Amino acid sequence: MKRSTDIHDLVAGLKASGEAFALATVVRTVSVTSAKAGAKAVVKSDGTMTEGWIGGGCALGAVRRAAMEAIRDGNPRLISLQPEDLLDEKGIEAGEIKDGVNFARNMCPSQGTMDIFVEPVTPLPELVIFGASPVAVALASLAGALGFSRTICAEAEDQSLHAYAETRIDSFDLPHDTATRRFIVVSTQGRGDEAALFAAINAEADYVAFVGSRKKAERLKERLGDKGVPYDKLANLKAPAGLNIEAITPEEIALSILAEIVQRRRNQCCDHYRNNKTGSVAKF
């Protein structure tokens, strides 16, 4: 088994690279188990265990599945790997979530109990801002404090209007794919609205919104539809952007948009637990 310092070095390297992974830690064992409390392992988003050790094959499947789910939704898991007779005594089925614990069946001959905490470590969600309008500038200013990485898509001569950005892209040439969760706001205010909206709608994103009136957004959607943009993509556009808080100033409008994004982000993250408080999610 690798030394814990090796695990810590790997974790630091993965964080620096922006790669999503999960850290699995054995927090409790009862009776005979192959791994003891404190054992750790790093699991990547495809389920590959790259470093460390948290037990034999009896635990690996459950940990890998939990790690991949945790990376996808951003929520940690506590897995309790128990022998079948002990689960039966408690009236719990393998795969059931109860009191925040994900129960799994231990099929190993040792028949011990092992609790494993699976913690996802994911890159910051990306807020992509198209344009350099006052609302766009306010969005970039406020988003950093809420834990977003900011990508500014604007013409080269407009980039200087944005004081805050982790990534800058001249014009609207945003890559379609992303390795992290992405939220897009188009706030071009008449400077390339259609081109920006076309790029935003065709990119991979959890949320795409347009800062402008509903009437203007409908006209733009009609033009894009005439150019062959699929209806389902156009239907996903949120316009006008933001929650209705009677916002007036650019800063207030930016606040309403970020509130909507945070709401969307948290709702999606919590769906797993909201829908499965006591039910079965996966047969471990």
Per run of 10 residues, the mean pLDDT along the chain (length 284 residues) is 64 81 92 82 88 78 90 88 87 87 80 90 92 98 95 96 95 85 95 96 94 96 94 93 96 98 80 43 34
Q: Could you give the domains of the chain?
A: 4-122 (no CATH), 126-270 (3.40.50.720)
pLDDT score of 273: 42
pLDDT score of 109: 67
The residue to which tokens 């001569």 are assigned: 157
Distance CA 209, CA 261 (A): 10
What per-residue string of b and e applies to 206-239 under the rule 16 or more CB within 10 Å gives b? Answer: bbbbbbbeeeebeebbeebeeeebeeeebeebbb
Q: What is the CA radius of gyration of the chain?
A: 23
pLDDT score of 8: 82
Distance CA 202, CA 196 (A): 10
pTM of the model: 0.67
Among 242, 194, 187, which residue's Cα sits nearest to residue 219?
A: 194
Distance CA 64, CA 43 (A): 7
- Encoded tokens for 25: 């830690």
